Amino acid sequence: MPTRERKDVYQLPAGDTTLEWYAKAVAKMRTRPATDPTSWSYQAAIHGFNKVNPYWGNVGTLPPPGQQTEYWKQCQHGSWYFLPWHRMYLAYFEQIVAKTIVDLGGPPGWSLPFWNYSDTNNPKATHLPPAFIAGTPATNPLQMPPAGHIPGRKNNAVHPKDVTLGALKTLIFQGAPSGIPAGFGGPVTGFSPSGSTHGDLESKPHDLVHVDIGGAMGNPQTAGLDPIFYLHHANIDRLWQVWLNMGHARHNPKDTAWLNFAFDFHDATGTPKVLKVSEVLDTTKVLGNGYSYQGVPASAPVTSEAMFASKLFSAAPGDLDDGMPPEVAAATNTSLSLDKSNSTTSLQLLSSNRKTGSLHRFNTALPGLAGAGSSTNTAHSYLNFENIIGKGIPPVYDIYLNLPDENKADEAHFAGALPFFGVETASSKDSHHNGSGQHYVFDISDVVNSLRENNHWDPQKLQVHLRPREAPEPGCSVEIGRISLYVK
Ligand code: C2O
């Protein structure tokens, strides 16, 4: 069988039945008991599960605890396993849907479509594909059913600001174990469902798309219950290949710790399977005949010579690892609880001798040297949000730096957005988490540089403004342990 193509959901030709059959399969899988690995509940629980969460209200009989420990709540977040784990998860999910469709009398070879919310050629791109909002949850299996009075989703579109693809600029896949920088694919960790710093692609667009849609999608414990989840992740998986194809030293880790790491799943016949990361790096070979993405060549891996050459000639200064760990140059000295109000926090510059070098670079090295094509600027600055703990699904908070008027959001000072996706899971101690919360890091070099160039930057002042997009829902809370500035 030839490699299947995963298609752009917005480019499915008229009369295409991909989504029709997806809907039928979802409905069928929802009728299977949670003890059946091919059921909708079981598939969603592989990602996350919490039986007291209202969306899980009617789950029924559960698999034995030992099986739950091995196969459920496995999602890898804040880790360099984020991309390969979700690729494996999707591959088995797709196989299960495809078999369900054949068993229902449908065509063979079903492939998961992807939702490209970043497509600037498609004015509707940021909206959920119409098939997912048509009808009602009772008539359309592609809707997310409500839990009592709680709607299945909060929004039918994502914020255009949340789907820009700055992450593709990051050249290194694996982030530092400290999370600074976080890397394209996430920091080096062991098995880590949500404890460490979220990688660049994971923070944006991945996490923001989750919380923008909200409802079940807003929480890793319930996200897999929403049929749109899998189209969102097909897109994230596609962006991994897009990133590799951009070249210029971009490549997957070569560390055996990563390549040999294995995860447990069930296939479409309900048989236990183990997959290693190294087995899913070529999409055209995943689970045998594999897949490719519409519009994205599944290119051959780059040779190490080509990699070396492109590293020498094309890397942006400061992006390659020169072996110097970033140093903390400024930080808050108390934790910060967020609520419905805009808040402003000042970071205190730390001036111990060891830090003077990096702080000096932060304060002086950038103006004039930071223009496009500059090869002498090596300063990079990272705004780091540490040990974020919380409850429920907090709103997105936009981050601004040194606003001239703190009551007015000025986009020239915009530094990123905090999604807090999975903050509740990361805050609770259980078998998979130590409860120390989550971490987000933002490379603020570009915004600081452009403010400096326009003389809108006061190096003596380092204020971080956090502005909630909406009022938090009752019962939700979020607290940031520390905000720090790292300089390299
Ligand atoms: Cu494991 Cu989109 O989440």
Q: Which atom of ligand 1 is nearest to the CA of 85?
A: 1
Structure confidence at residue 13 as a pLDDT band (50, 70, 90): very high
Per-residue pLDDT at 377: 46
Ligand 1: nearest atom to the Cα of 207: 2
> What is the distance between the alpha carbons of residues 199 and 172, in angstroms, rounded to a whole number?
11
Of 188, 307, 293, give the one whose Cα is nearest residue 241.
293
The enclosing H or E element of 394 equals none
What secondary structure does DSSP assign to 245-288, as a single string? Answer: HT-TT------HHHHT-EEEEE-TTS-EEEEEGGGGSSGGGTTT
pLDDT at 190: 87
Place of tokens 């452009």: 450
Q: Is 437's C-beta closer than 6 angstroms to any atom of ligand 1?
A: no
So what's the pLDDT on residue 460?
77
H or E element: which one contains 348? strand 348-349
Q: Does the Cβ of 87 fall within 6 Å of ligand 1?
A: no
Measured in angstroms, how far is the CA atom of residue 475 from the centroid of ligand 1?
23
252-258: long-range contacts (C-beta < 8 A, 24 or more apart)?
A: 252/173, 252/281, 253/80, 253/173, 253/174, 253/185, 255/174, 255/188, 257/188, 258/80, 258/81, 258/84, 258/174, 258/188
Range of weakest confidence among 10-24, 169-183, 198-212, 455-469 = 455-469
pLDDT of residue 420: 95
Q: Which atom of ligand 1 is nearest to the CA of 209?
A: 2
Taking CA atoms only, the protein residue closest to ligand 1 atom 3 is 220
Tell me if 75 CB under 6 Å of ligand 1.
yes
Q: Measured from the CB, is residue 47 less than 6 Å from ligand 1?
A: yes
Please tell me the number of Cα atoms within 13 Å of 10 on its side-chain side: 18
Q: What percent of the chain has pLDDT over 70?
A: 87
The pLDDT assigned to 3 comes to: 83
Whether the CB-CB separation of 413 and 447 falls below 8 Å is answered with yes
pLDDT digit string (tens) for 185-205?
999 998 876 568 999 999 999
Q: Give SS3 for 213.
A: helix
> Pairing mode, if any, of strands 477-487 and 381-391?
antiparallel
**Can you tell me the mean pLDDT for 400-411?**
93
Residue nearest to atom 1 of ligand 1 (CA): 75
Report how far residue 385's alpha carbon sits from residue 24's, in angstroms, rounded to the nearest whole number: 43
* 356 confidence band (pLDDT: 50, 70, 90): low
What does the CA dihedral 125, 143, 131, 396 come to, rounded to 10 degrees?
Answer: -10
Q: Is the pLDDT of residue 39 over 60?
A: yes
Question: Does the pLDDT of residue 428 top 60, yes or no?
Answer: yes
- Taking the C-alpha atoms of residue 179 and residue 261, their distance in angstroms, rounded to an integer, is 20
Q: Which residue type does 62 have?
A: L
**What is the pLDDT, as a whole number, of residue 195?**
62
| Nearest-angstrom CA–CA distance, 382 and 462 | 13
The tally of CA atoms less than 13 A away on the side-chain side of residue 297 is 6
Summary mean pLDDT of the chain: 89
Q: What is the pLDDT of residues 87-126, one digit of tens each?
A: 999 999 999 999 999 999 999 999 999 999 999 999 999 9
- Helix/strand/coil for 439: strand
Asked whether 206 lines ligand 1 (CB < 6 A), one says yes
Query: Residue 260: CA atoms inside 13 Å, Cβ hemisphere, count?
Result: 3
Atom of ligand 1 nearest to the CA of 75: 1
Per-residue confidence (pLDDT) for residue 191, from 0 to 100: 80
Q: Are 246 and 238 in contact (CB under 8 A)?
A: no
Q: What's 13's DSSP letter?
A: P
266 lines ligand 1 (CB under 6 A): no
Q: DSSP characters for 123-184?
A: TTTTBPPGGGTSS-TTT-TTSPPPBTTB-S-S-SB--GGGG--GGGG---SEEPTT-SS--S
Q: What is the 462 CA–ligand 1 centroid distance (Å)? A: 33
Which residue type is seen at 270?
G
d(CA 215, CA 211): 8
